Structure 1
Amino acid sequence: MRIVIQRVTQASVTINQVVKGEIGLGLLLLAGFTSDDTEEDLKWIAGKVAQLRIFSDEQDKMNLSVQDVQGDILVISQFTLYANTKKGNRPSYIHAAPPAIAIPLYEQFISLLESALGKKVQTGEFGADMKVALLNDGPVTIVIDSKNRE
């Protein structure tokens, strides 16, 4: 599993001109999955996201988690995180999990995040044409890959 974390002051996702998910202060997560992702990958990343200290404390040091600041999370499925651009100019997505595998992983990841945070997580819609708007705070953008945890 691979995610891009963006610390935001606001973010939303719109599908067919209807806002599906919206947050204020918190994290926008772009989440991509591969066919060999396991429950352990999902749990590890969910735990990292919940505890990642990337919000400023009273000394303006990044020392607080999304939980500490009572922030929210918006999760967007993003198969293009597994784009392979080694050959030619058209990316290959052969390493991205197909929907039959990715959808259950996406849903399980959301559930794990909600358990870790103790509250509902906002989402997009898997496979939909989504318009994502955000105000990146900092900017702070971090990439985490579950295959690089050791």
Structure 2
Amino acid sequence: MKALIQRVTQAQVTVDNATIGAIDQGLLVLVGIDPDDDAPNIHKMAHRLLHYRVFADADGRMNLNVQQVSGGVLLVPQFTLSADTRKGLRPSFTSAATPEHGVTVFSSLVEAVKQRHPRVETGQFGANMQVSLTNDGPVTFLLEH
């Protein structure tokens, strides 16, 4: 599993011109699912997302996590994160999870994060989504299991 996290001042996801998920300050998380992702990966990633320290403390240092700043979490499935881009001029998606496995793992990740944090929004698995955000910093990290 890969999670591209971005510290944002706001982010939203729209599908068919309707906003389906939006947050103010918090984390926009683009999630790529791999074929071998399972329950331990899901719980480890949920923990890391909520405890990764990317928000500034009183001294301006990244010492606070999204829970400590009462931020939102916007989880967006993005299978392209699992693409193999090591050669050629076109991505290969043979390394990505099947859609069936992907939706199961993504749904489980959403539930795991929601059980630990009250402010969670999501994109829609398999939909053509438009994601807009204001990256704060910019601060962006790739978390992998």
**TM-score normalised per structure 2:** 0.97
What residue number does 2:10 align with? 10
Instruction: Output the CA distance in 1 between the equivalents of 2:5 and 2:101.
Output: 22
Task: Name the SS of the counterpart of 1:20 in structure 2.
Answer: strand
Structure 1 residues 70, 120: CA separation in 2 closer, same or farther (over 3 Å shift)?
closer
Following TM superposition, the consecutive aligned residue runs of length 4 or more in structure 1 with deviations greater than 6 angstroms are none
Instruction: Output the CA distance in 1 between the equivalents of 2:41 and 2:144.
Output: 9
Gap regions ≥5 residues in structure 2: none
Count, aligned residues = 145
Task: Name the SS of the counterpart of 1:85 in structure 2.
Answer: coil
Instruction: Output the CA distance in 2 between the equivalents of 1:86 and 1:52.
Output: 28
Instruction: Output the CA distance in 2 between the equivalents of 1:57 and 1:64.
Output: 6
Moved more, 85-94 or 54-63: 85-94
Instruction: Output the CA distance in 1 between the equivalents of 2:82 and 2:5.
Output: 15
Task: Name the SS of the counterpart of 2:49 in structure 1.
Answer: helix
Following TM superposition, by how much is the alpha carbon of 1:87 offset from its aligned partner in structure 2, in angstroms?
A: 3.2
Task: Name the SS of the counterpart of 1:102 in structure 2.
Answer: helix
What residue number does 1:135 align with? 134
Residues 29 and 74 of structure 2 are in contact (CA less than 8 Å); yes or no, is this contact kept in structure 1? Answer: yes
Aligned alpha-carbon RMSD (Å)? 0.8
Instruction: Output the CA distance in 2 between the equivalents of 1:2 and 1:8.
Output: 19
1:68 aligns with 2:68: yes
Following TM superposition, by how much is the alpha carbon of 1:46 offset from its aligned partner in structure 2, in angstroms?
A: 0.5
Structure 1 residues 72, 93: CA separation in 2 closer, same or farther (over 3 Å shift)?
same
Gap regions ≥5 residues in structure 1: none
Following TM superposition, by how much is the alpha carbon of 1:53 offset from its aligned partner in structure 2, in angstroms?
A: 1.1
What residue number does 1:38 align with? 38
What residue number does 2:104 align with? 104
What residue number does 2:85 align with? 85
Moved more, 85-94 or 96-105: 85-94
**TM-score normalised per structure 1:** 0.94
Task: Name the SS of the counterpart of 1:88 in structure 2.
Answer: coil
Instruction: Output the CA distance in 1 between the equivalents of 2:119 and 2:25.
Output: 14
What residue number does 2:54 align with? 54
Question: 2:68 is aligned with what amino acid?
Answer: D
Residues 76 and 122 of structure 2 are in contact (CA less than 8 Å); yes or no, is this contact kept in structure 1? Answer: yes
